[in-house]
Structure 1
Amino acid sequence: TIDFPEFLSLMARKMKDTDTEEELIEAFKVFDRDGNGFISAAELRHVMTNLGEKLTDEEVDEMIREADVDGDGQINYEEFVRMMMAK
């Protein structure tokens, strides 16, 4: 299993050259598969699975909770940027 700090460092490694606004927007779009401006638990699980990380529902929910500043159960762009910059 992977915990949230490990997830962040994994993402930071994959994106260590990704600090421009443009690249962050592109990365967000990869997660936000339906384009609604939010990353849901299902979208996060899908991307993590594609990255080779098999996560339980609990792990995905925990990752959402860690990044979800406004408590709406999903990750918006601002929360995503904050999460990615927290590396």
Structure 2
Amino acid sequence: MGKAILVAVAVVLVIYAFFDALATPSDRVRGLPKPLWVAVVLLVPAVGALAWILLGTTRLRPNGPRRPRPGPRGPDDDPDYLRGL
């Protein structure tokens, strides 16, 4: 039973890495050219998938703390509306 779970996890990891490698834009791939990464993921399944996830792509990181978007303003916050009352 334990081996079946490990095999299932490895298969899911390879499938994820394969489709992630296909969908990642070429300018975000690092180390190897994109077609070579896809080949590594398919030919060396578990190790290639882990290598792709850890080394093959750059992840986008936010530049700083997120600023909250301003919420909708109600009519009682609008000075033009209040002038017309």
Same fold? TM cut 0.5: no
Q: Answer with 1 or 2: which has the greater Rg.
A: 2
TM-score with structure 2 setting the length = 0.29
Give the structure, 1 or 2, with the largest relative contact order (CA under 8 Å, sep 6 or more).
1
Structure with the higher helix share, 1 or 2: 2
TM-score with structure 1 setting the length = 0.28
Structure with the higher strand share, 1 or 2: 1
